[in-house]
Amino acid sequence: MGKTKLLKFYLFSSVLIVALSCLFACGRSQSFDVEFSSNVETIESGNNIQLSWSSQNASRCYSNDFDSKNQVSGTITLKIVTTTTYTITCSNSQNSTISKQLTVSVSSAKIESSNSAGATYYVANNALANNSNTGASDAPWRNIQFAIDQLVAGDTLIIKAGIYEETVLLSGAKHSGIANAPIRIQAQDGAVIDGSHLTPKGSQGLITLQDVKYVTIDNIELRNFRTASGDEISDTPIGIYIKGASAHLYIANNYIHHIENRSNCGQSSGCGTGANGIAVYGDTRTAISDIVLSGNEISHCILSSSEAFTLNGNIDGFKVLNNYVHDNNNIGIDIIGYESDTCSTCAPEENRARNGLVQGNKIINNSTNLALGRFSNNPWYEGDDGSAGGFYVDGGRNIVFDRNISSKNDIGFEFASEHSAKFSEDILMRNNLLFANREAGLSIGGYAQDSRAEGGGGTKNIAIFNNTFYKNKGWGTEINFSYRISAVQLANNIIVGEGDIADNFSSEINAQNDHITWLNNLWWATNNSDTSTLQGSFIAEDPLFIAPTQGNLHLQTNSVVIDRAIIQAPLSTWKNAFWQRLLLTDGILSVHGKQDIYGNSRFNNRLDIGAEEVIIVESNSS
């Protein structure tokens, strides 16, 4: 759920946001262009692709999606797992920039060919479609729900291109696959479930999965699911809604947008409205487990008190990979525990999302002050300062955040607990890039001074290693400590802010914080004259980003951070089977990871400070 933030007063520079928006597009001259292409448009998951770029008049080209080495032309080979959008940006000597994007789709050909035990059926919205048909490609069924009701374990349903106006429910064993024969629902490009003429009833998804196992939902566009307008709105529209004792689900490559709660309700009235793009609610004593949410896009959702992407309650074992969440008016990704109305029969320690990998996601421009639809900002917050975190943990535990990008959200990352005497704990944050967030980079701890109040929880056992922070400042700054924080380590981070270097970190007075360790972080700002109050051991030097005001946060090859990181000890207490299966270790978790933010190998004899491992190509001279 959303929350009220304590008001803090700092200067906020909107100039930086404008400058960094050049990551996507800026002014250009007519003779300045870039060609950007892929050798394939669609490929099976796990294969390699080649991206090529060329610009005749550029001085350099760069990308936050791969390492271009700042070359104005080149080709790079990348492994692709899910449908991915890549961006290349080039600049010329006049500091004009131009960006090009392309998307490479991951097909399900490999999945379908391996599904020899089951049949493949089709549903369409055309003149041939009829529920009395056989479901063959040339005799498709008409309704998705009817088609799903015909499937058995091992079957695949292909949704043909077209607009379908219906809600879909998969429930229980009748809609479940088995370990070697999952049910697969695969859409062709252009297949849309549209809720424009539908009204949510209670908490309802355009697609709802309840108590189902071994199901794949792939490549569906879901849109335009809205409540009525007014003050007393109790319904919650959701794009994809997972609940009950569900397990072994793969939700991938779906595009979810314009899911809207149109209530005028504000938090002071006590109403509880919301909306979600994707919602996973563990609401029974049997945990939801083995959930993969990969390559989905969620945008332009009006969320009221809720989040674009949420995992809440009794969830044990999940992966959130390579999703793109942008332009929503509340939190991007939220991992929640201790909400009694989620699982009323659960013990408190059961009722929390846990053991999850959050990797490779881009969370961009999510703000409670974002204008969407008829709202100039999110009415739930009643004009408060921005409080939408890109990534938020509220009572979750044993979570790894790796290789994510958070930009232009209100808060880059937040680890807190809204529940008195409860904690978000055992979190590893590594190799992430946080830049140009509107109010704060990282916020840790319960946000209420009174431990009995909402926001009266805390944070403990947090490792923050090898991240890059760049000019995240509004009411907060790069790193912000609130209340009841214990056992936090911050090492090998790049922390670049505005104003005085000491202002890159802020802590509440009488915050009840203990066992905080700062080690080998690089600090830099506009004014670096007084380093006397910097925390722990540090380096106070310019990290030498290539062109930060143009959105290029790659490091120059003579940066001081190269080979300067201090290796940290692995975590040895994460013994849940999820981590052993994922990492093939016996509870020993490397804190640095195998790859940097751009996919480069993390270890190259030594380790660099920050989210990037700089690749230096040595030329051979005769």
pLDDT digits (tens, 9 = 90+) for 558-587: 999 999 999 999 998 888 889 888 875 667
Residue 438 pLDDT > 50, yes or no?
yes
Residue 99 CA: distances (Å) to CA of 404, 406, 551: 21, 19, 11
Residue 114's pLDDT band (boundaries 50, 70, 90)? very low
* H-helix or E-strand spanning residue 414: strand 411-416
CA 148 to chain centre: 30
How does 526-542 read in b/e, with b if 16+ C-beta sit within 10 Å?
A: eeeeeeeebbeebbeee
How does 245-264 read in b/e, with b if 16+ C-beta sit within 10 Å?
A: bbbbbbbbbbbbbbbbbbbb
Phi-psi region of 290 (alpha: psi -120 to 50; beta: other; left: phi over 0): left
pLDDT at 42: 85
Phi-psi region of 219 (alpha: psi -120 to 50; beta: other; left: phi over 0): left
What does the pLDDT average to over 366-388? 93
Alpha carbons 553 and 396: distance in angstroms, whole number: 31
Residue written as token pair 């919650």:
236
pLDDT at 6: 31
pLDDT single digits (tens) 543-558: 999 999 888 999 999 9
Query: What token pair was written down for 443?
Result: 């916020």
What does the pLDDT average to over 282-302? 97
Q: Which residues are CB-contacts of 393 (< 8 A; sequence separation ≥ 6)?
A: 334, 335, 399, 414, 415, 416, 424, 427
Residue 604's pLDDT band (boundaries 50, 70, 90)? low
Phi/psi of residue 580, each to 5°?
-70, -40
pLDDT at 28: 32
How does 146-183 read in b/e, with b if 16+ C-beta sit within 10 Å?
A: ebbeebebbbbbbbbebebeebbbbbeeebbbeeebbb
User: Of 602 and 112, which is predicted with more confidence?
Assistant: 602
pLDDT at 195: 99
pLDDT at 95: 66
Residue 541 pLDDT > 90, yes or no?
yes
pLDDT at 115: 44
For the chain, give the mean pLDDT: 89
pLDDT at 79: 79
pLDDT at 455: 85
Asked whether the beta carbons of 272 and 305 are under 8 A apart, the reply is yes
Alpha carbons 336 and 313: distance in angstroms, whole number: 6
For 22-107, CATH gives: 2.60.40.10
User: 369: helix, coil or strand?
Assistant: coil
3-state DSSP helix/strand/coil percent for the chain, to nearest 5? 5, 40, 50
List the single range of 16-20, 72-76, 208-212, 511-515 with lowest mean pLDDT: 16-20
pLDDT single digits (tens) 404-422: 999 999 999 999 999 999 9
User: Of 149 and 86, which is predicted with more confidence?
Assistant: 149
Residue 268's pLDDT band (boundaries 50, 70, 90)? confident
pLDDT single digits (tens) 8-25: 322 223 333 333 344 433
Residue 620's pLDDT band (boundaries 50, 70, 90)? low
Alpha carbons 14 and 160: distance in angstroms, whole number: 45
List the single range of 144-153, 182-191, 275-284, 590-599 with lowest mean pLDDT: 590-599
Among candidates 411, 309, 329, 325, which has minimal Cα distance to 370?
A: 329
pLDDT at 7: 29
pLDDT at 21: 41
Residue 5 pLDDT > 80, yes or no?
no
Helices (H) and strands (E) in the chain, counts: 4, 46
Residue 446 pLDDT > 80, yes or no?
yes
* H-helix or E-strand spanning residue 246: none
User: 442: helix, coil or strand?
Assistant: strand
Architecture per CATH, 117-583: 3 Solenoid (2.160)
Any idea where the domains of the chain sit in the sequence? Answer: 22-107, 117-583
Residue 123 pLDDT > 90, yes or no?
yes
Alpha carbons 221 and 512: distance in angstroms, whole number: 47
List the single range of 64-68, 236-240, 254-258, 293-297 with lowest mean pLDDT: 64-68
Among candidates 132, 135, 181, 134, which has minimal Cα distance to 159?
A: 135
pLDDT at 25: 38
